[in-house]
């Protein structure tokens, strides 16, 4: 799914990323429900870097792995529907809705300057992301539609490819991204499920992930 005009993050093989394998043997189910916290940085990776890496493939056509480890294996970013295996202590990112504006897209996602792109993307998120709930391990849904979870990038550059899903004109493109982002820390060994649901960009959505926390898991 697309991160903008739907509700799931996209991940690229940025320089800070390493692909990790999907789960092998299923461990026992994890105990207890976790609480999602806002993510600003962790393991040497910032929320801005995560947003940039997440949106870039929509413009460039880079492949999007199901499970990506950042910061030398300290932070996991996974795709909806994926099953990933990590070691205890790994921070697990919870991707949430966001939007971009650039100097190469048709309205309402067009703006020429950095300030204009920032205002455009922020206005899109404010207007079109109306409800976001996260449930961990079957626990009660947590409302994460809060500015505490909201991050805004500086302007960055990509090279848009023909046929990109955002309809950006092919060639060098400047972009600003705005998006919500959460994180879970200290998950105990076992299988953990994440359910993200809500209403954004004109439609309801439900996405789920599974993360197996296994002592000695391969990276």
pLDDT in tens, 153-162: 999 999 999 9
Cβ burial of 99 (10 Å; 0-12, 13-18, 19+) is buried
Q: Give the pair of three-digit tokens for residue 22.
A: 């999907």
Please tell me the pTM assigned to this model: 0.84
Residues in the chain: 219
Which DSSP letter does residue 15 get? T
Cα–Cα nearest to 101, from 126, 76, 69, 136: 126
Confidence category of residue 215, pLDDT binned at 50, 70, 90: confident
Q: Give the pair of three-digit tokens for residue 5.
A: 């005009």
Whether the per-residue pLDDT at 67 is higher than 70: the answer is: yes
Contact between residue 161 and residue 61 where contact means Cβ atoms under 8 Å apart: yes
pLDDT mean over 193-201? 95
């Amino acid at each position: 799914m697309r991160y903008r005009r739907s509700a799931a993050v996209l991940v690229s093989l940025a320089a800070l990323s390493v692909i990790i394998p999907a789960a092998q043997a299923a461990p026992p189910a994890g105990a207890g429900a976790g609480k999602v916290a806002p993510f600003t940085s962790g393991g040497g990776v910032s929320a801005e870097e995560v947003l940039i890496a997440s949106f870039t493939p929509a413009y460039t056509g880079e492949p999007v792995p199901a499970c990506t480890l950042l910061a030398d294996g300290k932070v996991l970013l996974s795709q909806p529907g994926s099953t990933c295996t990590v070691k205890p202590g790994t921070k697990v990112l919870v991707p949430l809705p966001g939007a971009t504006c650039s100097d190469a897209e048709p309205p309402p996602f067009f703006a020429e300057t950095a300030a204009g792109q920032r205002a455009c993307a922020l206005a899109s998120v404010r207007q079109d992301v109306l409800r976001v709930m996260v449930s961990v391990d079957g626990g009660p849904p947590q409302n994460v539609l809060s500015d505490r979870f909201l991050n805004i990038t500086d302007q960055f550059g990509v090279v848009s490819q023909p046929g990109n899903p955002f309809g950006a004109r092919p060639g060098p493109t400047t972009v600003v991204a705005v998006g919500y982002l959460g994180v879970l820390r200290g998950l105990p060994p076992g299988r953990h499920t994440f359910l993200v649901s809500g209403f954004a960009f004109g439609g309801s959505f439900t996405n789920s992930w599974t993360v197996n926390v296994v002592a000695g898991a391969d990276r």
